[in-house]
Amino acid sequence: SVLQRDESGDEQARREQIFASAQERYYERPMQIERGWRHHLVDTTGRAYIDMVNNVTGLGHGHPGVADAVNRQIRILNTNSRFLYRELAEYSERLLALLPADSELDTVLLVNSGSEAVDLALRLAQAATGRKTVVSLREAYHGWTMASDAVTTSAYDNPYALENRPDWVHVADVPNRYRGTYRGDDTGARYAADLGADLDALAAEGRDAAAFICESVLGNAGGVLLPDGYLADAYRRVRAAGGLCIADEVQVGFGRMGSSFWGFEQSGALPDLITIAKPMGNGFPIGGVITSKRIADALATQGQFFSSAGGNPLSCRVGIAVLDAMESEGLQENARVVGSRLADGFRALAERHALIGPIHGEGLYLGVELVRDRDTMEPATAEAAAICERMKELGVIVLTTSERSNVLKVKPPLCLTADSADVVVAALDRVLTEGW
């Protein structure tokens, strides 16, 4: 056989035989995970870790409500979405009910992942406007499919595309108030004006924008909140230029911000299309686009839209179980309370440890940016990697993000307890005190 099976029981060796080299995994010497429970992961030696990474399992690992929903529904019915069944409408209505009262979005299209959701949102925007150009912000991640990858501008995630980006994508400056062209909280208007100038330039070239896509909080940068006023101003300019606004809420939506269910609510802006995925199924693959009927109906000009498993009764039942649990367990409120405790803990550490720069984000979507110098913001990349390895030894799974891999990304299941938050802060304190 071409494939010599590794019989040693070493999962790492088995996996390396089967995977492509581009398929990344965490850690140099990863632990082998056997099970998960709430915000904990347990390895094959019985060792438990606090999981500060899994934003897909928003409710926590091994959630019984989700397990019951899967078990019950898969015995009753699972079929494709061309049939008529109750669950699709029920789940779609539940999703629409989560929108702010002044939102006019009334249509849901369900798929199976975030990349598919972004792909579909781009296609919808292009169909509805009859235009092609999509404006995406620098340093963003939006997915792996051909279209979502084309608007993925992160040099870290997609170095290939820096030179090979399709000409229907325009990359605009990222409004990062800490590291961007303009620094500080009151930079929203300047960044939005620059975006406006880009839109004018595109129009002058005959490449009018079909859509503007961005995360409502800069996820890849480590949970950096957009500068005040930016998103509403940017959306106004995009619409004035005849384009549509896509909020990628795959990471930042669904209660994680604590003070709001959606990331865009942080900015008081209303998108035309919203992409959602990760936490919708608590690990079960579900994604979707929320938009208006006017935009969704434009897709008919391009033929049929059909996703075999997208919106099937099983995934809808799981989605409903997730929303039920979020409500009954008060997880958005928990994200607000425990997230703010965690951020306070990190800020207190910053007073004693010079390596900690700005603390980004809100709720349970935080970024601890590590810098060698707070003025120059020189990234402490090697230190960040070493800190993650040492945190793992202390029983905390935390990993880095950003183009410079110097931000500790904090995005645990929303059921994280105050006690566990304190353990995480204490572990980071210990690592920073001991050195690495």
Interface residues toward ligand PMP, by CB under 6 A: 113-115, 118, 141-143, 215, 219, 248, 250-251, 277-278
User: Residue 241 or 277: which CB sits closer to ligand PMP?
Assistant: 277
Q: Is 395 within 8 Å of 388 (Cβ atoms)?
A: no
The nearer residue to ligand PMP, 58 or 114, going by C-beta atoms, is 114
Measured torsion, CA atoms of residues 253, 336, 340, 252, in degrees rounded to the nearest 10: 0
Cβ nearer to ligand PMP, comparing 271 with 345: 271
Minimum distance of ligand PMP from residue 175's CB (angstroms): 16
Minimum separation from the CB atom of position 45 to ligand PMP (A): 29
Strands 287-291 and 273-276: what pairing?
Answer: antiparallel
| Separation of first and last alpha carbons in the chain | 45
- Shortest CB 118 distance to ligand PMP, Å: 5
Nearer CB in complex with ligand PMP: 210/250 = 250
Task: Give the rounded distance of the alpha carbon of 213 from its chain centre.
Answer: 13
Give the angle 165-168-171 at the CA atoms, nearest 5°. Answer: 60
> β-strand 244-248 against 209-215: which pairing, if any?
parallel
- Minimum distance of ligand PMP from residue 237's CB (angstroms): 22
- Cα 134 to Cα 7, 158, 294: the distances in Å are 49, 17, 19
Is the CB of residue 220 less than 8 Å from the CB of residue 401?
yes
Rounded Cα–Cα distance for residues 114 and 102 (Å): 25
- Cβ pair 369, 178 in contact under 8 A: yes
Q: Which is nearer to ligand PMP, 249 or 383 (CB)?
A: 249
Residue closest to ligand PMP (Cβ): 114
> Which residue blocks in 283-395 are alpha helix, DSSP H?
293-297, 313-328, 331-352, 381-393
Q: Provide the CB-side half-sphere exposure for 199 (13 A, CA).
A: 24
For the bound state, the minimum distance from the C-beta of residue 164 to ligand PMP, rounded and expressed in Å, comes to 20
Choice between 110 and 428, CB closer to ligand PMP: 110
Smallest distance from the beta carbon of 334 to ligand PMP, in angstroms? 22
What SS3 class is residue 59?
Answer: coil
Residue 219 or 227 having the CB closest to ligand PMP: 219
Shortest Å, Cβ 5 to ligand PMP:
29
Nearer to ligand PMP, 41 or 118 (CB): 118
What Cα–Cα distance (Å) separates residue 247 from each residue in 48, 218, 423, 428? 36, 11, 34, 33
Q: How far apart are CA 55 and CA 41, in angstroms?
A: 13
User: Which residue, 143 or 255, has its beta carbon nearer to ligand PMP?
Assistant: 143
Which parts of 1-154 fold into alpha helices (H)?
11-18, 64-76, 86-96, 114-129, 146-150
Q: 19 CB contacts (<8 Å, ≥6 apart)? A: none
Q: How far is the CB of 171 from ligand PMP (least distance, A)?
A: 16
Q: At closest approach, how far in Å is the CB of 257 from ligand PMP?
A: 14
